[in-house]
Amino acid sequence: MAKEPSVASAAATTPAPAGGLRINEDWAATFVGLVLVVLVLVGVIVKGMVP
Amino acid sequence: MSRAEAVRPVAPAVDAEALRRWGWTAASIVLLLALGGLVRYLDANVATWFPKVTWLKSVEFPVYAIAVGLVGGVALGALGLRERLGVAFRTEFLIKTGLVLLGASINLGIIARAAGPAIVQSIVLISSVFLISWWVGGRFGLDLKLRALLSAAVSICGVSAAIAAAGAVEAKKETLAYVASLVILFALPSIFIQPWLAQQLGLNHVVAGAWIGGNIDTTAAVTAAGSIVGDDALKIAAIVKSTQNALMGVVAVLLTAYFVFRVERVAGATVGLGALWQRFPKFILGFIAASALATLFINSSADQKAAGDIVAVAGTNLRIWFFILAFVCIGLEFRPAAIREAGLRPVAVFAIASIANLLLALLLASLLFSGFRLA
């Protein structure tokens, strides 16, 4: 009997979207969050720029 | 087919498809930002439109955001645009970025002091609620994989934990989709009910935050409920929830080991500790790093008040934007149809486990956080 598709097996066999790079959501959030913090601390983003 | 047709290049068709995809992505981002702007507008003005309705002043932005998202979701569904315009609805990414930004508003010392009680609460809560849910699931005759997913979701952190558990036990995609829908079904009302209950019980904001962080399943719903109670509650709720998130890897490894060695009895199999790191939610590192950066910035400034105001641009102003967009996405992505398709037994198991979680989290939050001071 054929094994039913599972989350683990699907994750192992699903290729990345063509022409795209899969970035882990956790790392993406960490990167974007920290970049924004640094931009605020060095004065690139100031209070008046955030509506 | 003519020779000319046979050799015709396919690039223009591919380009057109790519262009269309980019167009929908851009439209999706614009729509999300517009709905976020609407939430900001409502938050600033609704109470002034109805000055005699005094309780409107206490309605916080998560309420408007979720309501706008729900209405938007219904409208997109009716227009048949939900799939195509859903590209930018990234609740998890937005909430995690918001949490990294929130880290900047919390002194590193507070995280260090809260870590002890948060770890104790998380270990006791996760193991107790997981076992209760597992046992109740057995009594209701649920299969082992569904029990594993339900128990992980209700005891740790909702959808993320269900995904980790699904990978660990090799559950079917349909099972995961069903559990994820259940998580949202229960999280949505608790965003409003738990802050109200905390107020009725007269809990201080620290205990209320620890209760919310310990009980509500999804990180997004925890931040929404914490925001409704207040900033202090949000900070403690975020620390407690992040601690639970961090323990997700441990549970995933234990589940993998249980299914490999006890359920499937795979001969000669090993469970590597690399899975621990693989399933560790990395945004928690960003949360701590943002706190460390901001604490260093404020402590090394001559004018700490001015430095605190600068940090607030990231820790409050930008963070609120990311939270608004995430809460709008919660509303946009809510699909009651997914719940209707499933039977009642898993709903009953989830409900019983959620009530146990609610009571146990209240007890632990009161015991561990009643003497905790943020200042």
Rounded CA gap, B159 and B219, in Å? 9
Rounded CA gap, B266 and B326, in Å? 41
Closest CA to B81 of B73, B70, B93, B89: B73
Helices B108-139 and B345-369 meet at what angle, rounded to 10? 150
Rounded CA gap, B222 and B98, in Å? 12
Task: Give pLDDT tens digits for B237-267.
Answer: 999 998 988 887 788 778 878 887 777 766 6
Nearest CA in chain B to A25: B93
Average pLDDT of span B60-75: 90
- Interface test with chain B among A3, A13, A30, A45, by most B beta carbons within 10 Å: A30
pLDDT at B154: 92
- Report whether pLDDT(A2) > 50: no
pLDDT at B293: 96
**Band (B121; pLDDT cuts 50, 70, 90):** very high
B157 touches chain A (CB under 8 A): no
Nearest CA in chain B to A31: B286
**Band (B220; pLDDT cuts 50, 70, 90):** confident
Task: Give the angle B232-B62-B164 at the CA atoms, nearest 5°.
Answer: 85
Structure letter (DSSP) for residue B350: H
B351 touches chain A (CB under 8 A): no
- Report whether pLDDT(B90) > 50: yes
Does A47 contact B311 at a Cβ distance shorter than 8 Å? no
Query: Which residues from chain A sit within 8 angstroms of residue B173, using beta carbons?
Result: 5-7, 10
**Band (B331; pLDDT cuts 50, 70, 90):** confident
The SS3 assignment for B172 reads strand
Does A38 contact B100 at a Cβ distance shorter than 8 Å? no
Give the distance from residue A16's alpha carbon to the nearest chain B alpha carbon, in angstroms: 16
Query: Which residues from chain A sit within 8 angstroms of residue B289, using beta carbons?
Result: 30, 34
pLDDT at B84: 86
Average pLDDT of span B340-367: 89
Average pLDDT of span B160-172: 80
Rounded CA gap, B104 and B208, in Å? 22
Nearest CA in chain A to B102: A33
Task: Give pLDDT tens digits for A7-50.
Answer: 444 333 333 344 444 568 889 999 999 999 999 999 999 989 98
User: What is the end-to-end Cα distance of chain B in Å, rounded?
Assistant: 78
φ, ψ of residue B371 in degrees (nearest 5): -100, 5
Nearest CA in chain B to A45: B313
Give the distance from residue A1's alpha carbon to the nearest chain B alpha carbon, in angstroms: 16
Task: Give pLDDT tens digits for B3-32.
Answer: 555 555 555 666 888 888 899 999 999 999
pTM of the model: 0.78
B335 touches chain A (CB under 8 A): no
- Report whether pLDDT(B226) > 90: yes
pLDDT at B37: 96
B340 touches chain A (CB under 8 A): no
Give the distance from residue B57's alpha carbon to the nearest chain A alpha carbon, in angstroms: 20
B255 touches chain A (CB under 8 A): no
The pair of three-digit structure tokens given for residue B177, joined into one six-digit string? 């989709």
Query: Which residues from chain A sit within 8 angstroms of residue B40, using beta carbons?
Result: 51
Q: Pick the more confident residue, A43 or B60.
A: A43
**Band (B98; pLDDT cuts 50, 70, 90):** very high
Does B286 contact A30 at a Cβ distance shorter than 8 Å? yes
The SS3 assignment for B281 reads coil
Mean pLDDT of chain B: 87
Task: Give pLDDT tens digits for B308-330.
Answer: 999 999 998 999 999 999 989 98
Rounded CA gap, B143 and B100, in Å? 37
| Model ipTM over 0.85 | no
Query: Which residues from chain A sit within 8 angstroms of residue B285, using beta carbons?
Result: 30
Give residue ranges of A with CB < 8 Å to any B CB: 4-11, 19, 24-34, 36-38, 40-41, 43, 45-47, 50-51
Least-confidence region, from B36-45, B115-124, B192-201, B334-343: B334-343
Rounded CA gap, B78 and B220, in Å? 26
Query: Which residues from chain B sit within 8 angstroms of residue A36, using beta carbons?
Result: 97, 101, 314, 318
Average pLDDT of span B70-81: 91
